[in-house]
Structure 1
Amino acid sequence: MFSTILTSLALASTTLSQSDASDISDALRTEIETMRAAYGVSGLAVSVVSGDDVILSEGFGSFENGPVAAQSQCGLYSATKALTAFTLASLIEDGDVNLNARVGELLTDSPEGWRDIPLWRLYNHTSGLAMIVTQEAFSGIAEDPEAGNTAIYEIVRELPLDFEPGAHSRYQQSGYAVSEMIAEARLGQPWPALVEQHLTGPAQSNDTVYGQITDGSKSVPMISSAGGYVTTASDMARIFEALNAGLIANRDFLADLLTDPAYMQDNYGLGVILEDVAGETTIGHRGGGARANLRYAPQAGVGVMACTDQVGNRELTIHVGEMVMRALLSGEAPRPHIASLLYGSEDASAQTLVTLFEREWNNSDTRYGFEGSEAVLNALGYDRLEEAPAEAQTLFALNTRLYPDSANVWDSLADAQLALGEGAAALHSMRRALDLQPGNPYFQRRVVEHTPN
């Protein structure tokens, strides 16, 4: 019955009957609570919207300041960039922003090396602008209530580019500071006001705000397009509903813009990370060490947001988002992440975890999902590396069997082998990593450093 409901939901965004919506909500609620308990996370807020229906908008457990409810506030951190992407789509549709305009046209005093950089490269981390957050002067700017994006610009413009524009995609915030400064100068409003005008206002989501200015402690917004927003489960549900209704921008326009390969590099687009789920392109972002995760499937009209105030959260928000999104898009019953089984095991020895994992991996009827399991196994291994390197090696070795084409897992195995004094085996693993990513300077340096003279 439930699978049939989900299948019809995956085929088209329609209004569900009250009983169907209740069935879906109950099934998702059960799996989310099971995962939360297994991950050891005290509190979680979740929004799930499909078409016209709010499937979930509620809290699980408790945040530090009390029980989590639909109105409990939590930080989005870098997941704020998804809000920026939605706002940007509205601005572009209205003709207020030209993504192909060159920085030299938009900032007449910009450095010569910046002049031919198109605006869109500032949003997908391919501009080559120097990273501001690693500069010594940034801490002083961040603490100054009168400083803003212009102060960042004055520092970054004096620094050489980190790389030729378009040569790489390197996550940083400088591009957002500069693009935000450009938008504010040309449109005459601070970025949070533009977000309110083009996104939160139409959605009537009054609790999704730039956190630094809500208490009056920050008089000048700074890099607010890249982070710093807070939201609630109920507010995010309203934003997803507004996106589906075309109140932010025409849904087809938004989908085409934010999934356009022309603006994409390494699966990163205009402020969003693109991921394929059940054959559907989804857009979104995570932030705060996985304290927040926001994902939206524009064609299907499915949105998911999960957030927690717990720093050590084992990426629960990421796995909940994957579980919910896959269930709604595929028509399958929701499946908790394999990490739930591993984290919930009473016997946490590496060999037991490997046995549990392999049993489910080879089980065609497994009830678990495996998206991102490479990262889970790696994290479990590094948890043990210092105190029990042999245990770490067992987990890393499993990763190399499951994901032999991943350079990262071979590099991790090398760390355990070095810790165990197995130099020759470690060098072999390092060379495997380098073979998979021959242009990676870190892998190149490791091989050179550990090759006997």
Structure 2
Amino acid sequence: MRFASWLMLCVVCAPVFAANTTSELEEGLETYFAHCHEYGLFNGTVLVKQGGEVVYERALGAADLRDGRALDLDSAFYLASVSKQFTSMAAMMLVDEEKLSLDSPLTDTFPEFAGFGEGVLVRHLMTHTSGIPDHYQLLQAAPAGLTNERVLEVLVEHGALDFAPGTQWAYSNGGYVLLSMLVARAAGQSFRDFMQERIFTPLGMTRTQVVDSSSPALTNRALGFGADGALDDYELFTTGAGGMYTTVGDLSRWDDALASGELVSERLMQLAFTQALLEDGSRTQYGFGWFVHDDGRRVWHSGGLNGFGTMLFRDRSSGDTLIVLCNQRAASLGMFDFAEAIGALLAGVQPALPDIPVAGELRTLISTQGVEAALARYDVIRQSEAERYDLSEEQLNTLGYEYAQSGELDIALALLAKNCEVFPDAANTWDSLGEIQLLQGEREQALQSYTRSLELNPDNSHAVEVVGELTAGG
């Protein structure tokens, strides 16, 4: 996993580099995140702890890009898959109270799985070793308003496991939806109410809420947006796999509770941070709602859905904690990039500032001066400022498709033609250009582009199909 690279950096560099002082660390973090925000790579909130103490917290950007409403540290973000650790905690609390067992069969609560789900236990759901399919893959596209009940129907209608329970590891959002439903049945109340009464309120997490169809509107909520600034907000009502909103401050309180061990027994907390054992004796990299490093000290989870990206990392020995919440997922930078940079700074190493995505600057120029001016600027950047920019082929390719999707085909065509000029030996650039040329009705030019793509990549089945159709059609 990419995350291992900065984990290794911390191990290797710690004896060599003195840890930054608090002021140096804060300055380094401010420089890094201000740079990322300025160039469209970060819009969100971040909190960093060193030795269990908060040393940096910052909100940068807008909660709503449409009206410019600013983010603050009290802004609530959709948590995505970082929610899974809370779902596992709820299950562990019920295990401590003997209302649930790690070895409780799924079919005891949901007899609908009889005939194909025998052998699935609660612990399998918690560790992604159940064989329960991921409902996102079954649905292909999750409809707005999706509920737990509909997920249950989809899984039962599918009528099969992906593998025998305990024999493999495969990430399953469907398994975690079922886990939250099991918690609700065992607790005798809704999952939302259980979490509120047993975890959020006792820990003072006043800005945290499980979102289902009964939920009241959240105040000061961050809305999700795509890299192009278009609204891409969360619209589901499922729980367990996601379905939570929270703030960096509330996640810091959660981190404190995990460090103190106040919520469940020490035995269960140790299991939560232990890599699950498969039937063949091998270990996975996942515990109860957490990815777990081989050393058992470092645990984390990331999440992403719609415009939201999230990360929570904990070093259980040092007390270092990283919390990142974003509501505009940038195409060229992800949660692990942020985690690697923060980890380097905690280890006393100054990370390089990320390359500036050229697509962002071109998008602005296109809106103010037109595509010709934008491409002229692109040529200048390539000739004299290349070291500061991300000039990968994906930049123009993604930007071109962005304009194509909004119906601005002339702009898309100009961008993708330039991409082919700059990357003439990249099969994907020619494939993309051919697609837009077809949309423009330029069949002869499209045939040339797809033919060139095939020359570069004979295994491009899409190009084979299109060339065949264009050739047959004369």
TM-score normalised by the chain length of structure 1: 0.66
Distance 1:265 1:418 in 2: 46
Distance 1:115 1:359 in 2: 57
Deviation string, structure 1 residues 37-67 (Cα, Å, up to 9, x no partner): 11176x5222222332112233224323733
For the pair 1:70 / 2:86, whether they are aligned, the reply is no
Distance 1:357 1:96 in 2: 63
The offset of 1:101, in angstroms, is 4.2
Letter in 1 for 2:397: G
Structure with greater Cα Rg = 2
Mapped contact 1:91–1:97 kept (Cα < 8 A): yes
Letter in 2 for 1:240: D
The offset of 1:291, in angstroms, is 2.0
Mapped contact 1:59–1:68 kept (Cα < 8 A): yes
- Identical aligned pairs, as a percentage? 16
* 3-state SS of 2:350 partner: coil
* 3-state SS of 2:56 partner: strand
The offset of 1:184, in angstroms, is 1.7
Distance 2:430 2:265 in 1: 50
Distance 2:28 2:264 in 1: 32
For the pair 1:426 / 2:429, whether they are aligned, the reply is no
Q: Structure 1: where are the runs of 5+ without partners? A: 1-5, 361-367, 401-409, 433-442
Correspondence for 1:243: 258
For the pair 1:381 / 2:403, whether they are aligned, the reply is no
For the pair 1:415 / 2:416, whether they are aligned, the reply is no
Mapped contact 2:10–2:344 kept (Cα < 8 A): no
Distance 1:427 1:68, change over 3 A: same
Distance 1:355 1:93 in 2: 64
Correspondence for 2:301: 284
After TM superposition, the structure 1 = structure 2 runs for residues 276-425 of structure 1, keeping only pairs within 5 Å, are: 281-299=298-316, 300-310=318-328, 313-314=330-331, 318=335, 321-339=338-356, 343=360, 359=387, 378=394, 380-384=396-400, 386-387=412-413, 388-393=415-420, 412=428, 415-416=431-432, 419=435, 421-423=448-450
Distance 1:280 1:418, change over 3 A: farther
* 3-state SS of 1:115 partner: coil
Correspondence for 2:245: 230
Letter in 1 for 2:249: S
Deviation string, structure 1 residues 348-403 (Cα, Å, up to 9, x no partner): 7666777789747xxxxxxx9xxxx99x86355322354332444578789x8xxx
For the pair 1:34 / 2:35, whether they are aligned, the reply is yes
Distance 2:38 2:188 in 1: 48
After TM superposition, the structure 1 = structure 2 runs for residues 14-93 of structure 1, keeping only pairs within 5 Å, are: 20-39=21-40, 43-64=43-64, 66-88=69-91
Greater alpha carbon shift after TM alignment, 121-130 vs 76-85: 121-130
Distance 2:387 2:266 in 1: 42
Superposition RMSD in Å: 5.0
Q: Structure 2: where are the runs of 5+ without partners? A: 1-8, 219-235, 366-373, 402-411, 436-445
- Which of 111, 115, 120 is the matching residue for 2:118? 115
Letter in 2 for 1:81: K
Distance 2:265 2:424 in 1: 48
The offset of 1:76, in angstroms, is 1.9
The offset of 1:259, in angstroms, is 5.5
Distance 1:96 1:315 in 2: 46
Deviation string, structure 1 residues 138-179 (Cα, Å, up to 9, x no partner): 869x38xxxx63454245323333744579877664323322
The alignment covers a number of residue pairs equal to 397
Mapped contact 1:130–1:159 kept (Cα < 8 A): no
Correspondence for 1:403: none
Letter in 2 for 1:32: F
Mapped contact 2:275–2:292 kept (Cα < 8 A): no
The offset of 1:305, in angstroms, is 2.5
The offset of 1:237, in angstroms, is 1.9
Distance 2:467 2:132 in 1: 33
Correspondence for 2:407: none
* 3-state SS of 1:283 partner: strand
Distance 2:60 2:117 in 1: 47
Correspondence for 1:158: 157
Distance 1:29 1:136, change over 3 A: closer
The offset of 1:28, in angstroms, is 0.8
Distance 1:68 1:256, change over 3 A: same
The offset of 1:224, in angstroms, is 1.7
TM-score normalised by the chain length of structure 2: 0.64
